[in-house]
Amino acid sequence: MDGALTTTRAVRRRLDLNRPVDHQIILDCIDVAEQAPTGGNQGSRRWIVVGDDEKKQKLADLYMESAGAWMVETRDRLAGTGHHNERVMNSAAHLAENLARVPVIVIPTIIGRHDGSGRPGLFDSVIQAAWSFCVALRARGLGTAWTTAILNNEDDIAELLDIPDTVTQIAMLPVAWTVGTEFSPAPRYPARDITYVDGFGRIYDRGPSFPPTMADGPGTVVEHDVRAPLEKVWEAISDISMPADYSTEFLGARRVDDGQLAVGSSFIGTNTHEARGQWEVECFVSHYVDRRTFGWVTSDRDNPGARWRFDLEPIAGGVRVRFTMNLGPGPSGITQVISSRPELEPRIIERRLAEHRSNMIRVLDGLAERLADDDQPQAGPETGFTQA
Ligand SMILES: Cc1cc2nc3c(=O)[nH]c(=O)nc-3n(C[C@H](O)[C@H](O)[C@H](O)COP(=O)(O)O)c2cc1C
């Protein structure tokens, strides 16, 4: 089961365009998919399987018009540049150029119109089923790609396939046998980084135990989407003093060694806190990956009192900045406070993390405002792709 779930990839270049797909296998996969939950236990999903060559060609034309032409243009522009979207654009453009040749195109739909409430509503009675369909295909040696770009042309699709305006189209799934059946899991965030315990942004290195202790490596994450080019954001977050422009605790930093910052470089940070006054702490750069990750640890490089880190991820229209801090494992101000009142350990941890969190939010809010670039282009068509 995990094998199918972790390898149900967006298959585009490895769709076998020459091997017919029997209708019964599609029905079998829909029977599997129909076991998904549905609001009010009403079976409102309807599946359209398009195998007619002329209709597939019309869908292909609509796809080319809505996003395919942009995908082809982007693929040609990125060719040979090493851009992070080069591979996916190659694949997307290939699908756009070959859609009419795919054996069948499946459009899951649901009876009803969304109420526009901003809640999943109608959609969460169909998306699980449509995804189960994709996994069921994969389990049988077929593949597909979840595509939605064409839905900009919903009215044209409705006219082509006689879909009433009381019915909502969810995706367009080109279905074929796959060329080979080996697919690998994709790089994704590890669950620990994106699973928050008892509150948004609350993470642990291990465990956690309930109530949490310092031994769990408690931490907090703050994220902000910044509308600015990657280079500008990197320049800001790899500046050791930058957080001092916005934090109420961190006052600034000075280098101890010279030269280009690298893993192992050290600097002295100055902090202030109403309960503790002003203090200095030596910090060591722990992560330095150009335009990706900048991290440092405090007081002892082998047994730090805290670990801090910025991660950058290019996203549509800018950069997602992820700012993470974890307490421990070594001694620090907080471990002194805990040793004087050990029975209050969970509360002391919670309070300290809340202080760090509000400063981290200040830093990212301030940075986003300072770097916001109105000239930064808007995202491309709604294809699930990063701005390329
Ligand atoms: C909401 C959504 C819309 C998408 N729309 C398109 C699309 O229109 N065309 C396309 O080729 N891929 C589309 N994709 C597929 C993603 O680009 C795909 O997931 C990505 O390439 C990563 O590949 P993977 O799923 O194999 O990890 C879409 C995915 C999602 C979740």
Distance 155 CA to ligand 1 centre (A): 22
Check pLDDT > 60 for residue 388: no
Q: Whose CA is nearest to atom 23 of ligand 1?
A: 10
* Best mutation site among 95, 146, 178, 387 for ligand 1 pocket (most ligand atoms within 8 Å of CB): 146
Instruction: Supply the DSSP string of 120-162, one letter for each residue.
Output: -GGGGGTHHHHHHHHHHHHHTTEEB--B-GGGGGHHHHHHHHT
Task: Read off the DSSP letter of residue 385.
Answer: P
C-beta 384 within 6 A of ligand 1: yes
Distance 316 CA to ligand 1 centre (A): 14
* Best mutation site among 74, 88, 148, 170 for ligand 1 pocket (most ligand atoms within 8 Å of CB): 148
Distance 269 CA to ligand 1 centre (A): 43
Residue of 155, 186, 169 lying closest to 114 (CA atoms): 169
Question: Which atom, in ligand 1's list, is nearest to the CA of 63?
Answer: 8
The full set of domains in the chain, from first to last, is: 2-177 (3.40.109.10), 191-371 (3.30.530.20)
Percent with pLDDT over 70 in the chain: 96
Per-residue pLDDT tens digits for 90-133: 999 999 999 999 999 999 999 999 999 988 889 999 999 999 99
Other beta carbons within 10 angstroms of residue 338's beta carbon come to 21
Quote the pTM value: 0.89
User: How much is the mean pLDDT over the chain?
Assistant: 95
Question: Which atom, in ligand 1's list, is nearest to the CA of 10?
Answer: 26
* Tokens encoding 304: 């730090």
